[in-house]
Structure 1
Amino acid sequence: MQPTQRTDEVPFHLTGAFAPVFEERTDRDLTVIGELPPDLCGTYVRNGPNPRSGTSPAWFAGDGMLHAVRFEGGRARGYRNRWIRGPYAPNTNVVRHAGRILSLVEARLPVEVSADLETVGPYDFGGVLARSMTAHPKICPRTGELLFFAYGAEPPHLTFYRADARGEVVQSTPIDVPKATYLHDFAITARCAVFYDLPVLVSSFKSPAPFAWDDGYRARIGIVPRDGRDEDVRWFDVAPCTISHTVNAFEDGDTVVLDAIRAPRLFTPHALYRYTFDLRTGKVAEETLDPRFVDFPRVHPAFQGAAYRDAYAVELCDFARGGFGRTRLHKYDVARGTSVVHDFGSGQMPGEAVVAPRPDATAEDDAWVLLFVHDDRGPSALVVLDAQRFDGDPVATVRLPCRVPFGFHGAWLPDGA
């Protein structure tokens, strides 16, 4: 396995599976091992840092590059990768809503791209969005709304937005928090939004290391009706921590349940964690669901903000030894408290997975799981797993023409949606 640990000369994010590529490609008719489902029709696209110069001060600081594989009629029609053009290149996530594909990073405006990944330009929702947008917006599967927020060093430090299914912003609500804190993600339920006001303070987004832990800052989580105002927020004190990513949240009678990837301090291993907020009594219960260092969680898109069972996450197996050289994929049954592992073997480094529901599926795991897998011995692959046979052999493995660096977040863009 190529080294991915930090050395005195080269940081981990510029070596091994993380090292940038320097060529934009368009390749047709990819080789497939196995058999692609004929009704898997759409495009898988993933974002990630890929510095044009070959160097960057931190993993999250590199120029954004999108990588996409197109599926149609039981074939892998092609692979394409493109840098985001412009004065800044969002490198964290990608979302499609109201016919627009947006490349995202939390410190800047979104950048719209075409279906061929060509840069269209910055997008501000018709002038409504003034400075930035979270890299983790949520699409409500029941209303088609896009829910998102902006945060920053200047007041108001947090603003909550709702855009309707047509992409028109119908709500912009400042939420009062004492200081700018690191707010990478949030959660939604059928009726609420959930925000994290935790002891990781933001000094300036202009710095390559803008975050600092503050032992004196109060740790709390706020729950607000999706159409509510600042005065409607219910704040719950929690144990000091930082939350990297949301798994999911849902309502259960008078309680709100939040599953998230949580660490007790900044830059320490994350675990799968559950909060249960009692809206009647104001009390909160906290518990660890899995102590292993996992991150990059995903759920079935139709279960976003609703009671669910299945979650998928990447285990970063080597973090405790100071590196990122080995990963494996978990499927959790959060109702039973169990998990199944898909280990791709030596030299194989899976990244974040996305869930592609089968057409007309009724079961939550009647779906395919798609992800890029880095291979130390050569080009990367896109792997398709059957969610119901998660630890079994892949349904199909698409051989890619090049290496795809280990990156951040992606999306399944089904045809006709």
Structure 2
Amino acid sequence: MSTHAPTRFDPTRVPHLLGTFAPVTEEVDVAELRVIGALPASLDGMYVRNGPNPRFTPIGSYLYPLDGDGMLHAVRVSDGRAQYHNRFVRTPALVAEEKAGRALWGGLESLILPSADEVGPELADDFKDLPDINVVRHAGRLLALAESACPYRFDADLATLGREDFGGGLTAGITAHPKIDPVTGEMVVFCYALEPPYLTWSVIGPDGVVTRGPTPVDGVDEPVMIHDMALTARYLVLVVAPAFIDLEAAMSGGSFLAWRPELGTRVALVPRDGGAPVWCTDDAFWMWHSVNAYDDGPEPSAPVVLDYVEWNRLTVGPAPEGAGPATARLVRARIDPSAGHMTRTVLDDARVEFPRIDDRRIGRRHRRAALATGTGRADLLAGEYDAIRWVDVETGAGQVWEAGDLSVGEPVFAPEPGPDASSEDHGFWMTFATDRTDGASWFLVFPAADPASGPLARVSLPVRVPLGLHAAWLPTEEP
């Protein structure tokens, strides 16, 4: 038996199910792609991107970017040539829907859950797994990541291997944005929950074994949504905005997220050695994604620097009553762990999202950040961008490549092997892009030393790739 079901839901009127966001259902393999320009001969690996892609027409509700089945899109690059394939992340729920030939679960805002008669007792009256947000490779595992739930493992051909709970060590799941320490090889994660403990963190060693099981973060006493995190050599950095999960409201047809800005936003520095967290509070803001964080000095009292994209309010679900336009900018927070105090400085006031750095700099001082941005067009939807911006966070200097009719995705850095491999300028930036005029999709590769000069290579993709979320460059030789 279904639970709450809204009386009206018309998926043909949901903007994030249309145009450049519209889902695709065909799974495709193409061995030779057309390349305009030249792919760097040094690139050898696979670019993989995940994103919400409903297999069947949604029922009840659809809330971008949290709803939708995961679909993996991959471009393999080697010897200057490229091939493409895509696959759904086949969770048990998706397999049940494919057997039925229609959607059986409603979106997060509708709470429509199928009965045992429809899907069997193991899946009945439970939420659908949604590993549709991110991808990561750690300790030989390829993972499609969900929002604070167990990820799903997949193989090099994108075939789904099953739910991953790390040998039973993390059965409640992990964040969609784990951070891999490039020095220690550890993957540090968090998970928020509907019941106590509401927020925990854990560590997975470089061999894939859980070395720290779920550890409560003291100071969180009700369910709260946290999308991303940051990591330094000493701390896990958690930005706890006043976005509270309200299941009671959702059950009665309201929003499952309540924005309470009067409580402010809190930031926790959680010592990686297991010490008590340091909390500081400031005016309310929302953070979808961090850029990076690092300890600004070797001494234990050294400040923590956190770069992130700051939104003036929560941007998922209905806008709070009386709220003005949602705005985003690149901000640096400087956090004093001794005083429990932070100051915030705007690094760049352009509207940006999907920030990335050279992942080899995670937890250490970085210089350059790449972000999706806009040129000011009024016809772009929330989550749609038509330019890429590169910002030198030390000098504030910025470069922009305007994409014209293309809507671009998250830019990802691929280091170039060689004697200068440690340089943030020695490599390439890459992303998917889709033409708003004809639906054609492209894989773009930019030179890191001069990205604003435009793509070195434009690879024509055989199908439209819906605008989605997060990606990774996976070299054939795993570091």
Paired residue for 2:118? none
Q: Is the 8 A contact 1:95 1:103 kept in 2?
A: yes
Q: Which moved more, 1:15-24 or 1:272-281?
A: 272-281
Q: Is the 8 A contact 1:269 1:319 kept in 2?
A: no
CA distance in 2, matches of 1:310, 1:364: 7
Q: Within 5 Å, which residues of 2 pair with 1:275-354?
A: 275-317=333-375, 323-324=381-382, 326-345=385-404, 347-354=405-412
Task: Kindly state the Cα deviation for residue 74 of structure 1 after the two structures are TM-superposed.
Answer: 1.6
Paired residue for 2:3? none
**Over residues 322-363 of structure 1, what are the superposed CA-to-partner deviations in whole Å (9 max), with x where a residue is unaligned?**
734652110110000121001121x21111011001113132
Decide which of 165, 174, 191 is 2:216's aligned counterpart: 174
Query: Quick check: 1:199 aligned with 2:257?
Result: no
Q: Is the 8 A contact 1:171 1:227 kept in 2?
A: no
For the residue of structure 1 that corresponds to 2:263, the secondary structure is coil
For the residue of structure 1 that corresponds to 2:429, the secondary structure is strand
CA distance in 2, matches of 1:128, 1:283: 34
Paired residue for 1:363? 423
Paired residue for 2:274? 228
Q: Within 5 Å, which residues of 2 pair with 1:52-131?
A: 52-55=55-58, 57-59=62-64, 60-76=66-82, 78-86=83-91, 87=93, 88-131=129-172
Q: Which amino acid aligns with 1:339?
A: G
Q: Within 5 Å, which residues of 2 pair with 1:8-47?
A: 9-47=12-50
Q: Is the 8 A contact 2:280 2:341 kept in 1?
A: yes
Q: Within 5 Å, which residues of 2 pair with 1:201-220?
A: 201-204=244-247, 209-220=255-266
Q: Is the 8 A contact 1:83 1:89 kept in 2?
A: no
Unaligned runs of 5+ in 1: 1-6
Q: Which amino acid aligns with 2:14?
A: P
Query: Quick check: 1:154 aligned with 2:195?
Result: yes
Structure 1's 382 and 8: CA in aligned 2 closer, same or farther, altered over 3 A?
closer
Structure 1's 209 and 41: CA in aligned 2 closer, same or farther, altered over 3 A?
farther
CA distance in 1, matches of 2:55, 2:38: 36
- TM-score, scaled relative to structure 2: 0.81
CA distance in 2, matches of 1:212, 1:321: 28
Q: Is the 8 A contact 1:277 1:285 kept in 2?
A: yes
Larger gyration radius, structure 1 or structure 2: 2
Q: Is the 8 A contact 2:372 2:385 kept in 1?
A: no
Task: Kindly state the Cα deviation for residue 127 of structure 1 after the two structures are TM-superposed.
Answer: 0.6
For the residue of structure 2 that corresponds to 1:391, the secondary structure is helix
CA distance in 2, matches of 1:99, 1:8: 39
Paired residue for 2:473? 412
Bigger fraction of residues in strand:
1
- TM-score, scaled relative to structure 1: 0.93
Measured on the aligned residues, the alpha-carbon RMSD in Å equals 2.0
CA distance in 2, matches of 1:290, 1:168: 40
Identity over the aligned pairs, expressed in percent? 41
Paired residue for 1:238? 282
CA distance in 1, matches of 2:151, 2:367: 32
Task: Kindly state the Cα deviation for residue 130 of structure 1 after the two structures are TM-superposed.
Answer: 2.1
CA distance in 2, matches of 1:264, 1:140: 30
Q: Is the 8 A contact 1:14 1:54 kept in 2?
A: no
Query: Number of residue pairs matched?
Result: 407
